[in-house]
Amino acid sequence: MKAVFISYNQALTERVMAILDRNGARGFTKWELTHGRGSVDGEPHYASHAWPAMNSSILTIVEDEKVEPIMSDLRAMDAETKMQGSRAFVWNIESQM
């Protein structure tokens, strides 16, 4: 099992949800408002008057074979929407109940 953490501009919510649905990632935890700024470039997303963009984040736990299709779809989305900003990370799951 793997954890996929996705942070993205709220404008991309429908696209991110469609990627999860298309790849059979049913379960997830979503944080509606997360703040951040890119590690290389891009404007901060602070939901403030100066920096009004807003992010959301999702954590989903999926079977190993689902990771690469999800990440591939997320990379394609990011390439099409570079200015919106999105990041995704994958971690190993040690245990579950």
Q: How many domains does the chain have?
A: 1
CA 39 to chain centre: 15
In a domain, 97, yes or no: no
- Domain, as residue range, for 52: 2-92
Residue 24 bridge partners (DSSP)? none
pTM for the whole structure: 0.92
Which phi and psi (to 5°) does residue 78 adopt?
Answer: -65, -40
CATH number for the domain spanning 45: value is 3.30.70.120
Residue 44 to residues 22, 49, 79, 87, 91: CA-CA distances in angstroms?
Answer: 30, 12, 19, 13, 25
Q: Which of 27, 96, 69 is nearest to 88 (CA)?
A: 69
| Residue pLDDT tens, the chain, 97 long | 999 999 999 999 999 999 999 999 999 999 999 998 877 777 888 888 888 889 999 999 999 999 999 999 999 999 999 888 899 999 999 998 8
* Residue pointed to by tokens 């579950």: 96
